[in-house]
Amino acid sequence: MTTIFSIGNIAIASACAAAIGLASGFKDSGASNLTAYQTKLAQVDAIQSPFQVQSVIIGDNIGTAIISQNGYLIEVAFDYEIVDDSNGVLGHSDMTIDISSLQINSILNTATGKPYSDWTMREDHQQMIAQIRAYVDQRGLVGGA
């Protein structure tokens, strides 16, 4: 456990490090456990997302996607730029997309076939953007990904 500061016999530990260690069952043995925990956390985030990208079509700095969520199909349009995502590692190039705007084109209830008004919120858009980016990265739809 990491000690933040100590006063006499009282030491206050990082609650985050303790929670990570207890929740994941890791022993406190260093950075490799943190990497493993972050990988598990990313997997859980992907599973817990209510949005699932069905398809993405990208052109020159514009794209469209079909996203499903709890019985609805959401068609979106987006603007993007291709950016280097190598995190400053020399000799390494990892290209990805940076979505600058997202627009809901239509929402369709899959059970009834009826269209719905846009009921999405800012947080929904952020999750959709993350899911589209992951879809593009996993399938290598941009050069170097």
pLDDT in tens, 30-67: 444 444 444 444 444 445 668 899 999 999 899 999 99
pLDDT in tens, 92-137: 667 889 999 999 999 999 999 999 999 899 999 999 999 999 999 8
> How many angstroms separate the CA atoms of 49 and 135, rounded?
13
Exposed, middle or buried, 3 (CB in 10 Å: 0-12/13-18/19+)? exposed
Distances (CA, A) of 65 to 15, 26, 78, 137, 140: 40, 39, 8, 14, 16
Residue 139 makes CB contacts below 8 A (sequence gap 6+) with: 56
Residue 85 makes CB contacts below 8 A (sequence gap 6+) with: 94, 95, 96
- The model's pTM is 0.62
Tokens representing residue 89 in the block: 């590692």
